[in-house]
Structure 1
Amino acid sequence: MAKTILAVDDSASIRQMVAFTLRGQGYEVIEAVDGQDGLTKAKAQQVHLILTDQNMPRMDGLTMVRALRVLPNYRTVPILILTTESSDEMKSQGRAAGATGWLVKPFDPARLLEVVKKVLP
């Protein structure tokens, strides 16, 4: 059975690149346009991994991570932040919020797949 990954980003082109990369490796991908949409979709269908941008309208990535981590179904699900933010302070905030890892855009598809394979059980 294919693992389901939720890709959350307000940039349609980034979502499409992430989805194309992951689907090419057999993953099922659900797309969300911002943190609020991502949270709604994660509550509607259990996923195995979440990839999220940080800077988005309505709800940013870290706020979504915090909201997911209080839900019993998402306490241990890997959540990767995929963003242009690369400061140590932002990464530290990500860890504090419960993010599993941090990837900086623009992303290398091979590196993305390597990290996804590493964190998915």
Structure 2
Amino acid sequence: MRGRILLVDDSDMVIRLVAHTLKKAGYEVTPTNNGDEALAQLNGQDFDLLVTDLNMPVKDGITLIREMRHLDDYRFLPAMLFVNNPDENIAEYIHNQGATLLFSKNHLKDKLVITVDKLIS
């Protein structure tokens, strides 16, 4: 196993695609559908990376990352935030909110594993 990833997205299609891709690359993936479920998973488990969507019902990705940063064990956990169409303004805002990296969903198939490898290493 190369690392444990907490994956958060409200789209089952995205969850299936990302989980399949990362598992195939040797990662252990714990999928959840919203920020509240993700915070519950963080309680008592060890993860090497958080991968979350920005726009979700119940709790969005920014709120999830901000709340995660208040947990001692996860204060410095790398957090990759998915967006459909990233731009410079949103990238700066997201970084200021505690995300490690902004990642375009357009690159899920071609750059996901390389990006995750860099964040975990």
- Same fold (TM > 0.5): yes
Q: How does 1:1-121 map to 2 (within 5 A)?
A: 1-121=1-121
Which segments of 5 or more consecutive residues in structure 1 lack a partner in the other structure?
Answer: none
* Partner deviation per Cα, 1:56-88 (whole Å, 9 max, x = no partner): 001000000000111111121110001214132
Contact persistence 1:2–1:27 (CA under 8 A): yes
How many aligned residue pairs are there? 121
**Secondary structure of 1:56's partner?**
coil
Q: CA deviation at 1:5?
A: 0.3
Q: Distance in 1 between matches of 2:53 and 2:107?
A: 12
Percent of aligned pairs sharing the same letter: 33
Contact persistence 1:54–1:85 (CA under 8 A): no
TM-score by length of 2: 0.92
**Secondary structure of 1:51's partner?**
strand
Contact persistence 2:52–2:79 (CA under 8 A): yes
Q: Which moved more, 1:105-114 or 1:19-28?
A: 105-114
Query: Which residue type is aligned with residue 117 of structure 1?
Result: D
Which segments of 5 or more consecutive residues in structure 2 lack a partner in the other structure?
Answer: none
**Secondary structure of 2:106's partner?**
coil
Q: Distance in 1 between matches of 2:107 and 2:51?
A: 12
Query: Which residue type is aligned with residue 13 of structure 2?
Result: S
**Secondary structure of 1:107's partner?**
helix
TM-score by length of 1: 0.92
**Secondary structure of 2:31's partner?**
strand
